[in-house]
A and B are shown apart, each in its own frame.
Chain A
Amino acid sequence: MFQYMEELQHLNFSALMAMGDVSDRIGRPTDNGQIGIIDPDCRLIGLHLYDGLFKVIPFDNKGQLKEAFNIRLEELQVLDIKFLYGCSKPTIVVLYQDNKDARHVKTYEVALKDKDFVEGPWSQNNLDNGADLLIPVPPPLCGVIIIGEETIVYCSANAFKAIPIRPSITRAYGRVDADGSRYLLGDHAGLLHLLVITHEKEKVTGLKIELLGETSIASTISYLDNAVVYIGSSYGDSQLIKLNLQPDAKGSYVEVLESYVNLGPIVDFCVVDLERQGQGQVVTCSGAYKDGSLRIVRNGIGINEQASVELQGIKGMWSLRSSTDDPFDTFLVVSFISETRILAMNPEDELEETEIEGFCSQVQTLFCHYAVYNQLVQVTSSCVRLVSSTTREFRTEWNAPSGYSINVATANATQVLLATGGGHLVYLEIGDGVLTEVKHAQLEYEISCLDINPIGENPNYSQLAVVGMWTDISVRIFSLPDLNVITKEHLGGEIIPRSVLLCCFEGISYLLCALGDGHLLNFLLNLNTGELTDRKKVSLGTQPITLRTFSSKNTTHVFAASDRPTVIYSSNKKILYSNVNLKEVSHMCPFNSAAFPDSLAIAKEGELTIGTIDDIQKLHIRSIPLGEHARRICHQEQSRTFAICSLKNQSSAEESETHFIRLLDDQSFEFISTYQLDPFEYGCSILSCSFSDDINVYYCVGTAYVLPEENEPTKGRILVFMVEEGKLQLITEKETKGAVYSLNAFNGKLLAAINQKIQLYKWMLRDDGSRELQSECGHHGHILALYVQTRGDFIVVGDLMKSISLLIYKHEEGAIEERARDYNANWMSAVEILDDDIYLGSENNFNLFTVRKNSEGATDEERGRLEVVGEYHLGEFVNRFRHGSLVMRLPDSDVGQIPTVIFGSVNGVIGVIASLPHEQYIFLEKLQSNLRKVIKGVGGLSHEQWRSFNNEKKTVDAKNFLDGDLIESFLDLSRTRMDEISKAMSVSVEELCKRVEELTRLH
């Protein structure tokens, strides 16, 4: 089924919209893609969806769409269709190829009344053999430009002008002037040309073409304004460019202003843990031709270590400035159970121990802060001390009443709030050498945590204090300075709040409250009334959390130190949580020194680290431009290398390309060794593996000789390399009778998919000590065995057009036999084994499906059939599945138990498929069906219909797959919509948010 929707507001129709299904039940879908065009005078929409048919959707004179109808189009191999400008009747120009491969253009008038074509005003035969693109020229010139590979032609009823061009394939064009006299053309090599129609008195006199410079290989070109052009690319990063009037030193008129990440097409990828932190990273083969690159995609926020020192038992850390208006921090106060040590940057920019004489250093520090009048404040269990930050000398102190010790404390530049045993809350204000006890309050329970972070207008003074309580498990908001309770919020449950924080993201005030079990609550806070609303709960880890603010690039974020450190930030006024790529952090404080600007001091696992933090965002993408097209990638842990199969197009227009096996260092991503394949030889598969009775690790590469005269390759090779001293050494090679589409390590042997055959090779030691691959057994019976995965003795094969089959290797007999197959005719694009019984496949109509091995079947027939259990329309062409995860998996968390598979698609999408426990699936399925009622598809497109499994043969509802993107959009809904869903599901909004947040932590 095909959906078409057209918004016509730009055509001055009053916000008219229409939608509908324009698919036909019979028809052969066009090979060259669908064409949809609108008549410049808005009389009809034209669609070319099926060979030999042109569908017309007419407009009436009010701009309303009328019933669509088909017209027979004689030309079967259509390359392009456009509407001509300035015709009294709607007229199309058709560029087509005849059965002798010659290319012509023809014009047709659309006779709306007769529902037929009438021969048009002109035609032009025998064009450039590479003619592929039509550009209709607007009035006053009218006519059409035909772009070929060696010529460009202007054609109209009364003119024909042609110019030769340097051989190139034009992929995209963009009109510059409203009168259509200049066009930007982008070619397959990323070169941008300007095509000029010269004309006199509305008569075309000729064409001119000028090279402007190089961009990403363009898929779309849009002239925006004032010489700024958007280059949309599906082969590389899209770009915003400026066309300068004068060329630069290299002769280019193009200046790249901005570029926008595009991972597509992802042809292959691997999941690796380069930093060995237990966190996966995806390394993709992205882009095509000269825009080919490797992309390292990493989730979470990294800390780039600048310095680190071994320090056990850190109980708290604070940074201090040496004067109130110093922009940089000088001191780092590190507190231990029975002492406090001061570190400072020395003139050599090294961190060394120093002293602040006025501080108590023989006891644990509970809190420290810089204060007004060049002072520092230190809170210990017995007193609050005020010290000069310039002389470092003691100025005054406030002592806890005898018999009481201070349990928790907080401070800002002018205020101190502390709690002693017995529920005493004491509020002090800081003056010049004076500490004034302003207010005291007696609460009914002990106080567990407190905060007076100023988020109001005055950056040094807070009008609110927040206090977390033992016993009744509540947080309370007090007004300052009078310490009146203005809000009391019971948290529920039995876990006490351990850390509270007032903070402000994107102008919105929040109260964050972290519990002792790793959960975090957040509330919207009304600064004037102290009212708390929109309570949300997420699980960050399993251990108590300590919250601290820090700033990076002039924006304030919150660091949640715990067994699963997290940065809390806000984007589009929504709170987001991003993992920090560290295992466990007990304390964090910002340390913005001159030598280490914008850095953080982090206490973890007996170590104090100073480091800078990555940009605060969820995904980090690093790009390694290759200048050539990488098609297969594989990582080898032992040699710490990647190997890729790549190809490079020669810059000359002759269609020669060279294929390589390249070895890259897995840290620097530099080419360290290259093996050039034979002429016409393509790298098809790559694998790092070892064999039985051999401790070495090898790279195996499968190739195919792709000869222009052959329909399918009849010859290939398996090359076995070893990395020796950073070089690829060819150990042995084995010729095959076809393309080696896939290689797998299998029972200490090598399993290869060669054309229609699965072939197992043994690794044999020859008498002379050298090694060779020796064929052991094989299995015939595939059209083309393209994708193979193995588990134990089982082999899952994804066939070109015969879906998935399951084979088994029988050791005793040394044979491979078919065990079961899916009898559907799916054209596969990737397969993966989810578990012993369930196999996942993707096919070329952008669907996903799962099949199940039926070992308990009663009959041979049942056991021989793979049962389809899940079906889903993904809308992406998947090129590869890999087991793994982009997030740190903690064994003790619920999320850590959910197995995930990552996929990469032609559009550059990286996605995660998670195998959910049944209970969670049922819950989320219910949520999804409720969300479908609330979130409506734009233009009335139904989500249910969109996700239905759909190919040429059938359309069936999706089953056993859920749309995680839709479910996660719950978090973006307004409160009233959330309430609506909560009511329909009889589950609290808080619980729904928590369940959905959990899901977001899978990726």
Chain B
Amino acid sequence: MGSMLGDWPSFDPHNFSQLRPTDPSNPSKMTPATYHPTHNRTLPPPDQVITTEAKNILLRNFYERAEEKLRPKRAASENLIPEHGCKQPRASTSC
């Protein structure tokens, strides 16, 4: 291997084989032609129009929480008293 950098990858040896350096102090000013499509082929298919879900991320979060809450709520109701009981002693300690 001739270089410490290693060889540069080559996909097709013909690529750039004909390219001759031009004077870099005289940069190329070519302006590529603008593409003006006069056909409909670049229009997306009707089912491929990107939309964002209408539900706001915050609302989605609320609904999800509400759903989550619905289930444990039934279970929690059974423990309503100990929960109150929990608060009671705290109130008493503060007195």
Q: Which residues of A contact B (CB under 8 A)?
A: 4, 16-22, 24, 26, 53, 55, 57, 64-65, 67-72, 115, 176-178, 182, 194, 196, 210, 212, 223-228, 237, 239-240, 242-243, 245-246, 253, 255-261, 572, 617, 619, 621, 623, 934-940, 965, 969, 972-974, 977
Asked whether, in the complex, the Cβ of B21 is within 8 Å of the Cβ of A22, the reply is: no
A492 to B16, CA, bound (A): 53
Asked whether, in the complex, the Cβ of B57 is within 8 Å of the Cβ of A72, the reply is: yes
Q: Which residues of B contact A (CB under 8 A)?
A: 2-13, 15-17, 19, 21-22, 24-25, 27-30, 33-40, 42-45, 47-53, 56-57, 60-61
Asked whether, in the complex, the Cβ of A938 is within 8 Å of the Cβ of B50, the reply is: no
Chain A nearest CB, measured from B67 CB (Å): 12
- With a 10 A CB-CB cut-off, give which of B39, B44, B60 has the most chain A CB atoms: B44
Asked whether, in the complex, the Cβ of B53 is within 8 Å of the Cβ of A67, the reply is: yes
Asked whether, in the complex, the Cβ of B60 is within 8 Å of the Cβ of A115, the reply is: yes
Contact of A225 among B7, B16, B52 (CB under 8 A): B16
A223 to B35, CA, bound (A): 26
* A176-B9 in contact given A258-B24, A940-B44 (Cβ < 8 Å): yes
A sample of 8 more A-B contacts (CB under 8 A), given A69-B52, A239-B24, A974-B38, is A18-B45, A210-B4, A223-B8, A223-B9, A226-B13, A243-B5, A245-B8, A260-B27
A224 to B28, CA, bound (A): 19
Chain A nearest CB, measured from B21 CB (Å): 5
Chain B nearest CB, measured from A248 CB (Å): 13
Chain B nearest CB, measured from A209 CB (Å): 12
* A224-B29 in contact given A245-B3, A969-B34 (Cβ < 8 Å): no
A974 to B48, CA, bound (A): 30
A-B residue pairs, 3 tightest by C-beta: A20-B50, A18-B48, A245-B3
Chain B neighbourhood of A938, CB < 8 A: 35, 37, 42
Asked whether, in the complex, the Cβ of A176 is within 8 Å of the Cβ of B48, the reply is: no
A261 to B28, CA, bound (A): 6
* A64-B27 in contact given A256-B21, A939-B42 (Cβ < 8 Å): no
Chain B neighbourhood of A228, CB < 8 A: 15-16, 19
* A969-B36 in contact given A65-B50, A939-B43 (Cβ < 8 Å): yes
Asked whether, in the complex, the Cβ of A936 is within 8 Å of the Cβ of B40, the reply is: yes
Chain B neighbourhood of A623, CB < 8 A: 25, 27
Asked whether, in the complex, the Cβ of A935 is within 8 Å of the Cβ of B8, the reply is: no
Contact of A621 among B16, B17, B29 (CB under 8 A): B29
Contact of A21 among B13, B48, B50, B56 (CB under 8 A): B50
Asked whether, in the complex, the Cβ of A245 is within 8 Å of the Cβ of B29, the reply is: no
Chain A neighbourhood of B29, CB < 8 A: 261, 617, 619, 621
* A940-B21 in contact given A18-B49, A69-B52, A617-B29 (Cβ < 8 Å): no
- With a 10 A CB-CB cut-off, give which of B8, B15, B33, B44 has the most chain A CB atoms: B8
Q: Which residue of A lies closest to B34 (CB)?
A: A969
Contact of B21 among A18, A69, A258 (CB under 8 A): A258
Chain B nearest CB, measured from A983 CB (Å): 15
Asked whether, in the complex, the Cβ of A68 is within 8 Å of the Cβ of B17, the reply is: no
Please name 7 pairs of A and B residues whose Cβ atoms are closer than 8 Å in the assembled complex, sorted by A.
Answer: A19-B44, A20-B49, A20-B51, A196-B6, A224-B16, A246-B3, A936-B37
Chain A neighbourhood of B48, CB < 8 A: 16-19, 64-65
Q: Which residue of A lies closest to B20 (CB)?
A: A257
Asked whether, in the complex, the Cβ of B27 is within 8 Å of the Cβ of A17, the reply is: no
A321 to B26, CA, bound (A): 34
A22 to B53, CA, bound (A): 10
A289 to B16, CA, bound (A): 31
* A973-B43 in contact given A246-B2, A623-B27 (Cβ < 8 Å): no
Chain B nearest CB, measured from A34 CB (Å): 15
Contact of A67 among B17, B30, B52 (CB under 8 A): B52
Chain A neighbourhood of B11, CB < 8 A: 225-226
Chain A neighbourhood of B7, CB < 8 A: 245
Chain A nearest CB, measured from B56 CB (Å): 8
Chain B nearest CB, measured from A46 CB (Å): 13
Asked whether, in the complex, the Cβ of A57 is within 8 Å of the Cβ of B16, the reply is: no
* A940-B42 in contact given A228-B15, A259-B27, A969-B36 (Cβ < 8 Å): yes
Chain B neighbourhood of A196, CB < 8 A: 6
A196 to B24, CA, bound (A): 29
Chain B neighbourhood of A55, CB < 8 A: 52
A257 to B37, CA, bound (A): 33
Q: Which residue of B lies closest to A182 (CB)?
A: B6
* A977-B38 in contact given A67-B51, A226-B8, A257-B21 (Cβ < 8 Å): yes
Q: Which residue of B lies closest to A965 (CB)?
A: B34
Asked whether, in the complex, the Cβ of B22 is within 8 Å of the Cβ of A227, the reply is: no
A115 to B60, CA, bound (A): 10
Chain B neighbourhood of A226, CB < 8 A: 8, 10-13, 15-17
- With a 10 A CB-CB cut-off, give which of A18, A225, A257 has the most chain B CB atoms: A225
